[in-house]
Chains A and B, each alone.
Chain A
């Protein structure tokens, strides 16, 4: 599946954010987002990870991360 992993914004420098998911950090551009983003928000990255595609409410992000943790533990890859 083309599964998306909600990533938590840990730092912002201009229009570039450092985001974290499952212990991995990476940098992504915020320029395609309609909404303002703050440290602590969750975003979904587009394919390839260069651009954040969507801001996700915290509750939805945490539920998705719990599900994805199950997927990971289940060895579905």
Chain B
């Protein structure tokens, strides 16, 4: 038979460049695979990629639009990262985002009108964080006390949140609904004091700064606080946590609440920066799930998340922008497919940072 045995062996050392190389190589491999696919379909891959790149990263509106989409992706990416690095699989950032939008728009409508802008926006954000954390709380409690799978509970809660949000705008004349617009249901606009200012004439808003700031804050918490330290220990070895006297249950709950709050902030920034209202159609974009993709590609590192979110935001944006561009008629779906392929390659490549291939000659194993 085969004279060699190929095995995966655990690596003992990991250089920092190896950690960064894997996602980069995966992206390159995915682009190569994509290029082959495009060739088969009769497109010129270089032209396609160039147009994609231009649409998102070289023109003024392109970059700003990419960054605008990146804002919630940074936050949902952080939400996923905080939980996933502890093996807590909160896949409900999508629903936590919706709740954040609900709570945030309420705060904007109810209390921001008489406040200075900085406080008005802050109110929206804080309310959004609270909403998201609240939505993660059931999953957190059930997991910590009953060991219930957080994967299922957060997923279920996402759908409940979706219907709740739709109900508030489409299904009822709730506080969130704009009574003056009668032909189609729409959310009431929040006052200007609750909105992020726009950057000159683009769609980019100061929420980007907030998102980056929050990423820094998360990084700082994980790196410099005892809470972050406890989370690191619990995520690596629960035995060690118990040995050290770290309360495992409490840490798990706090981590999931934090994750939920970040998802809620994503919804809040969308309200305060883009939609200015509770807008289900504008929020149901799968931002929560894409955030998981961002986190995985970025290896749960807050700084990398900012970069990856921008990259994926650009890809998304390109898909839309391409439709209006002259030239090569590139199908819009290519960008979505590329996202998926890049992720698949990244996931597959992930293993090579922990393991390496070793080939051993099969000698006289059988004759003992």
Same complex for A and B? Answer no
